[in-house]
Amino acid sequence: MRKLRRKTGGISFLTAMICIAFVVIGILCITKYANINKQKERLMAENASLVAQSEALSEKLKQIRAQEEFGQDDAYIESVARTQLDMVYPGEVIFRVTGEKYN
């Protein structure tokens, strides 16, 4: 009959597997954490870009609304009608002066 010997000084297979499992889980956690941080930085940069774009669009909207209000002003409408469309009030006479000299 064989005598069973007790192992001395070594670690058991189960202990080695548990240690390997902890190392693998640790590496996976660190990798996942690094990916999450990269994604967070990317999203924060994208957010900053979108905020800047939103502010630019808000400013452009303000300008458009100001132009609409200015375009509804009677003085502006009259100015455009006189300068660009050559319109006059009834009874007005327009004299055009050119650079030519007559003898």
7: in domain: no
Spatial CB neighbours of 81, under 8 Å, sequence gap ≥ 6:
87
pLDDT in tens, 36-93: 999 999 999 999 999 999 999 999 999 888 877 776 777 777 888 888 888 888 888 8
Total of domains in the chain? 1
Query: Looking at residues 19-33, what average pLDDT do you find?
Result: 96
99: in domain: no
8: in domain: no
pLDDT in tens, 91-100: 888 777 777 7
61: in domain: yes
Distance CA 51, CA 28 (A): 34
Total H helices, total E strands in the chain: 2, 0
79: in domain: yes
Print the domain residue range for 22. Answer: 15-83
56: in domain: yes
* pTM value surpassing 0.85: no
Phi-psi region of 101 (alpha: psi -120 to 50; beta: other; left: phi over 0): beta
Angle at 77 between CA 76 and CA 82, to 5 degrees: 100
24: in domain: yes
